[in-house]
Chain A
Amino acid sequence: MKKELTIFDNPKNVKRLRNGFFVALVLVLIAESFVEMHGEFSVEHFYGFYAVYGFISYVLLIFVAKLLRKIIMRKEDYYDE
């Protein structure tokens, strides 16, 4: 039997990964104050614009997709007769 990786079977490791991710999120937000955001559009000058836009886009994408599913979803064998 080939040996298996089981690193994410341990909930502790998953938790560590998640916490690391949250720390990284805070870091990229703070990082914005150290760089000059030289955007062409005025929206880019709002602090954290990209973070907010990314989050909202993602949520919007998922919810619109869920609505779309109601219209376009068919059984797997829809085209087979």
Chain B
Amino acid sequence: MMNSMLPPALIFILGAVLIPFLRGKVKALYMLALPVIVFIILLNLSLGNTWIVEFWGYELIMGRVDKLSLIFAYVFTIMAFLGILFALQVKDNLQHVSGIIYAGSTLGVVLAGDFLSLYLFWEIMAVSSTFLILASRTKASREAGFRYILVHLIGGLFLLAGIVLYVQKTGTIAFDYIGLSGIESYLIFIGIALNAAAIPLHAWLPDAYPMGTPTSTVFLSAFTTKSAVYLLIRTFPGADILLVIGGLMVSVPIFYAVLENDIRRVLSYSLMNQVGFMMVGIGIGSELALNGAVAHAFCHIIYKALLFMAAGSVLQMTGKIKCTEIGGLYKTMPLTCLFCMVGALSISAFPFFSGFVSKSMIISASAHEKIFLIWMVLQFASTGVVDHAGIKVPFFTFFGHDAGIRAKEPPLNMLLAMGIAAALCVGLGVFYQPLYNMLPFPVHYTPYTGAHVVGQLQLLMFGALAFTLLILSGYYVPEVRSKNLDADWTYRKLGRFFYRILDKGLNSLNRLSEGVLMGVVKGLVTFFKSAAVKIALFVSVNIWLLLGYRDKRLEIKKNRLYNDIIQGTLPIGIGAAVAISFILLVFILT
């Protein structure tokens, strides 16, 4: 029965095409209906493969349905609904269409059981998300979007090369666990890791995400990185290198987040930090750790979207989003402020908020496996989250110094989207059992033990105490307008530098070779010209001598002929005769 219906990805992608033709309430209802329909289909799916299509002798599986793919499909669909609701007042069809296609392609990636359909949806994802960055229609967004698509196309090529080698080696396009061994697995790993913003392939994320519109960045925050997390859980669980990458990702971006002035870029670094927790979970690879990574992805998508929605609301209503330009907004935007606080408490993993029930699984897993260094890094990073996302974002936006801006609350649909997301954050934190039941492995884990709660509260609150003391004493990092160097420097500055070197090097080489070539050609031309003259003179002088010309008359004749040939004033007949005689001579001599 299910086979007769379209797969969820195509419902979104084909459904999006209709949007530009609809108007007003019909359009709004239609857009909201798409994720609802998809969600109902997902709820009715039975485990196993479905939507299988024959294609050039290969079997495309567009519906690999198991607990792992299903939970990601659920949260992506919920997210699509929230994103659409939040963007409902936007008039720009480009954003609606590309946003919904983007959500659809992510569902395609998550449900793909073979590499061919995976790659297809993977590239649709890259292209459609680029339009969400371009949608701001500013010079900065155009340039960032260009860099974004270039990086992702290169990543896609790595994935494709890996897939081709993999299919050649195994003889099948179906995939599941791959594991790091052999060149093809490394290529696939690089392709996926780039989309997960794994250090050092991460710079596209903080470069491009803050450039989206107030609403499009909400979409961006959810899909690309978490679909990569899903793929890593499926294909490379327990890969040790993910412990290193994850350790770097939880720790390095938080320093940048402390320094960054643009709130949405702070949130972008914070996104990397959160994906880092998932990477560590995948790297540990135990059932508890993988469950933790999945649960954390689920919770993270919602609270990160909530934070980006709050930031988007501020940007939309004030036109500003830099710490140095905003502050004191709680006075006129109390609801947005409240929702932002819920997101901040969730990402900080405060007890009874969603982050607590998911992140603690990963940290506990690292403790169970006795990986002390990673455990210490994760606890350190947890405190770092308190700083940038838990305190910095709400404090400098809604409290801090009053920038004198008196912006109104955003429109009802935006408030509603934030309200639902906030309710989910609290709901998941308190009633975590339904989430645990959806996880891929059976859960034997209790998040709310006295030790967990007290330990976490101490960690968070004494971190907050440090903030209080630092800011009261003036030692806290001052907010300044600035640009902080990151890995994108390599292709934005170093790249330009290499371009210049190549430009200089190659062009001077060009000039040199041009000079050499021209010199040789000129020399040859002169040589042949004078050769022709000499041959002509040799032939003519002998004829003239035979005819009886001597001394002065011969000299005059010789000069005239010489000048005529050199200056090209020779009557054509003689010129042709000279040329032919030259060719004849060459012909005879060789």
Chain A contacts to B: CB under 8 angstroms: 2, 4-6, 8, 18, 21, 24-25, 28-29, 31-32, 34-41, 44, 48-55, 57-62, 64-66, 68-69, 71-79
A62 & B258 in contact (Cβ 8 Å cutoff): yes
B255 & A57 in contact (Cβ 8 Å cutoff): no
> Which of A8, A28, A36, A40 is the one whose CB lies under 8 Å from B368?
A40
A58 & B463 in contact (Cβ 8 Å cutoff): yes
Given known A5-B334, A31-B454, A68-B259, contact A55–B483 (CB-CB < 8 A): no
> Which residues from chain A contact B387 at a C-beta distance below 8 Å?
58, 61-62
Main secondary structure, interface of B, reads helix
Give the interface segment out of B228-236, B469-477, B565-573: B469-477
- Answer whether residue B406 sits at the interface, using C-beta atoms and an 8 A cutoff: yes
A73–B372 alpha-carbon span in the complex (Å)? 33
A34–B493 alpha-carbon span in the complex (Å)? 57
- Answer whether residue B450 sits at the interface, using C-beta atoms and an 8 A cutoff: yes
Given known A39-B367, A41-B367, contact A54–B467 (CB-CB < 8 A): no
Most chain-A CB neighbours within 10 Å: which of B370, B372, B457? B457
Given known A2-B408, A57-B380, A66-B477, contact A28–B463 (CB-CB < 8 A): no
B259 & A69 in contact (Cβ 8 Å cutoff): yes
Main secondary structure, interface of A, reads helix
Given known A5-B331, A62-B470, contact A69–B458 (CB-CB < 8 A): no
Within 8 A of A (CB), among B445-472: 449-451, 453-468, 470
- Answer whether residue B332 sits at the interface, using C-beta atoms and an 8 A cutoff: yes
Within 8 A of A (CB), among B417-465: 449-451, 453-465
Q: List 30 A-B contacts (CB under 8 A).
A: A2-B406, A4-B331, A4-B332, A4-B406, A6-B331, A21-B461, A21-B464, A24-B461, A28-B457, A32-B454, A35-B451, A35-B453, A36-B451, A40-B367, A50-B459, A51-B459, A54-B386, A57-B379, A57-B463, A58-B383, A58-B467, A61-B255, A62-B476, A64-B255, A65-B258, A65-B259, A68-B259, A77-B483, A78-B483, A79-B492
Q: Number of residues in B with C-beta < 8 Å to the partner?
A: 54
**Across the two chains, which residue of chain A brings its CB closest to B261?**
A76
B477 & A54 in contact (Cβ 8 Å cutoff): no
A34 & B457 in contact (Cβ 8 Å cutoff): no
B454 & A62 in contact (Cβ 8 Å cutoff): no
> Which of A6, A41, A53, A74 is the one whose CB lies under 8 Å from B372?
A41
A48–B463 alpha-carbon span in the complex (Å)? 13
**Across the A-B interface, how many residue pairs have beta carbons closer than 8 Å?**
157
Chain B contacts to A: CB under 8 angstroms: 254-255, 258-259, 330-332, 334, 367-368, 370, 372, 375, 379-380, 383-384, 386-387, 399, 406, 408, 449-451, 453-468, 470, 475-477, 480-486, 492-493
Given known A2-B408, A21-B464, A76-B482, contact A38–B451 (CB-CB < 8 A): yes
CB distance from B253 to the nearest CB of A (A): 11
A50–B457 alpha-carbon span in the complex (Å)? 8
B375 & A41 in contact (Cβ 8 Å cutoff): yes
CB distance from B458 to the nearest CB of A (A): 4
> Which residues from chain B contact A76 at a C-beta distance below 8 Å?
481-483
A55 & B482 in contact (Cβ 8 Å cutoff): no
> Which of A5, A18, A60, A74 is the one whose CB lies under 8 Å from B483?
A74
Most chain-B CB neighbours within 10 Å: which of A51, A53, A54, A69? A54
B450 & A35 in contact (Cβ 8 Å cutoff): yes
CB distance from A9 to the nearest CB of B (A): 8
CB distance from A47 to the nearest CB of B (A): 10
A61 & B484 in contact (Cβ 8 Å cutoff): no
**Across the two chains, which residue of chain A brings its CB closest to B375?**
A41
B372 & A29 in contact (Cβ 8 Å cutoff): no
**Across the two chains, which residue of chain B brings its CB closest to A77?**
B483
